[in-house]
Amino acid sequence: MYITVENPIFDIIKTRRSVRSFLPIKIPDDCLNLILESAQWAPSACNQQLWQFIIIKDNDLKIRLTTEAGASKLILKAPIAIAVCYHSGNIKEGIQSASAAIENMLLVATSLGIGSLYLNSFGKEIKVKQILNIPDELFIVAFILLGYPEKQLPPPKRRALEEIVHQNYFSKYSKETFSHDANKWTLSSVRDFQERYCRKTDLGTRMDIVNEMEIKLIQNILSREKYDNILDIFSYDGSLLNNYPDMKIFSLNLGSETSLFTTYAVNRKIEPLIYDDFIPLKDKSISNAICVFKLERIPPQAYDKLFSEIKRVLEDDGRFIIVFRSRNSLYGLIHRLIKIKFDDDIRKSGIYSFFGPYSPLKSADIISSLKQADFSSVSQERFFVIPPLIDDFYQLFLHYFTSGGGAFYHREKRKSIVGNLIHKIIRLQKEYNTKFGSVIVLTAKK
């Protein structure tokens, strides 16, 4: 029988989703056995079938994997985790063979109404092997998480076939950039990256790294005056919007996928908008606009058009507030060290890769663009000599070390003497305007 688009297997392929939220319902043994049997029938290099599958149901064991090996805490959400291993005699053959088995498992799970996740963030491999008693001659290819999905997810966008298919010879390839520096990107490339990468996790999951002191600063800035409405510039991931005062919020994003992500993240009503060199609002319809830690992710060559559009939609007495991290502070040094450590590749650092590039900014460059857009005046405030985000960066480092470079998490605090000391020192800072502040607030009047 030939496989056609009318054949059910194609529907299963298109229905499969990466599930990260599971119901606390046990998977029947006969369903689990079918999933494992599908792996058994997968192709393997030279038909060696050198795969091994470890079924993990014990919650205490899952906790050990997350705390001792730095595995993703998603493991704790799934009723079943499966460690997929292969003989290490030939790594390429192992990846090829185990991946074929894994795809079989994912598709059969989907056909049974069971959600699955193909997980790479399983932690430090040597520690995982110790915990699970995995022999030295095997290596871990991936973990598979299984469980009944908590919710149904909409299909993500896919690259067009003409982007990925070539006839006889490779042709028409647009080299993608993965630099940390926004000036090496275009607005279109940032949009394309975000539209794909926002599906690396559940819609609405908080992913941005913003310290609680920075959030408090933003709340205080917005409480200085009462506004009828506010335009939030490039809201994605949307986590900051829940800290805004009670007012009508227009949320501007670069694409439909990031706009959807923002909508899931916010527990209040917002008006989603998409920016494509034009803000779909009437002239003089917005009281104030704000851009919080997002301009660092936008190519400088896009500033002039963006700022002109913001000025157009602002009321005559409206203000445009920009909050960003200064390049002329410890943030600039941290940025340079990250680029050196990870070869200026956001995929390797994992810190900013959810959003694309990230570059601390110079206020003079932004002020110049604001004046170019004909804003009447620009005032400047600086806060926090010691960057509050150092506290979060230290947590990232601890998890990076624990997981063997496999993951970056900072919201799960790992206790340490150094970490406690850093936290206390940073908390000693008061929120006042200082010449050497690391967080800059620009207020441009129309």
Tens-place pLDDT, residues 24-41 = 999 999 999 999 999 999
Q: What is the pLDDT of residues 111-145, one digit of tens each?
A: 999 999 999 989 999 999 999 999 999 999 999 99
Q: What is the pLDDT of residue 268?
A: 87
Q: What is the pLDDT of residues 403-435, one digit of tens each?
A: 776 666 545 677 788 878 888 888 888 888 888
pLDDT above 60: residue 231: yes
What order do you get walking across the sheet with 80-87 strand by strand? 51-56, 80-87, 138-147, 115-119
DSSP β-bridge partners for residue 229: 248
pLDDT above 90: residue 437: yes
Q: From the CB of residue 154, how many other CB atoms can be counted at a distance below 10 Å?
A: 9
Radius of gyration of the chain (CA): 24
Q: What is the pLDDT of residues 238-296, one digit of tens each?
A: 989 999 988 999 999 999 999 999 998 898 899 999 999 999 999 999 999 999 999 99
Q: 23 vs 418, which has greater pLDDT?
A: 23
0.75 exceeded by the pTM? yes
pLDDT above 70: residue 5: no
Cα–Cα distance, 429 to 79 (Å, whole number)? 44
Q: What is the pLDDT of residue 97?
A: 97
pLDDT band at residue 313 under the 50/70/90 scheme = very high
Residue at token pair 């006889």? 168
Cα–Cα distance, 9 to 413 (Å, whole number)? 44
pLDDT above 50: residue 328: yes
Report CA 281 to chain centroid distance, whole Å. Answer: 28
CATH topology for 183-380+435-445? Answer: Rossmann fold (3.40.50)
**Range(s) of the chain covered by CATH 3.40.50.150:** 183-380+435-445
Q: What is the pLDDT of residues 208-228, one digit of tens each?
A: 888 999 999 999 999 988 888
Q: What is the mean pLDDT of the chain?
A: 91
Residue at token pair 């392929």? 13
Q: Count Cβ atoms within 10 A of the Cβ of residue 60 and give its class: 0-12 exposed, 13-18 middle, 19 or more buried.
A: exposed
Q: What is the pLDDT of residue 397?
A: 80
- DSSP summary character for residue 25: -
Q: Count Cβ atoms within 10 A of the Cβ of residue 175 and give its class: 0-12 exposed, 13-18 middle, 19 or more buried.
A: exposed
Q: What is the pLDDT of residue 47?
A: 96
- DSSP summary character for residue 4: -
pLDDT above 50: residue 3: no
Cα–Cα distance, 37 to 108 (Å, whole number)? 10
Cβ atoms of 435 and 382 closer than 8 Å: yes
Cα–Cα distance, 326 to 317 (Å, whole number)? 27
User: Average of pLDDT values for 41-50?
Assistant: 97
Dihedral sign, Cα of residue 176, residue 401, residue 76, residue 243: negative
Q: What is the pLDDT of residue 295?
A: 97
**Range(s) of the chain covered by CATH 3.40.109.10:** 8-147
pLDDT above 60: residue 157: yes
Cα–Cα distance, 126 to 128 (Å, whole number)? 6
Q: Which CATH class is domain 8-147?
A: alpha beta
Token couple for 245:
């005062």
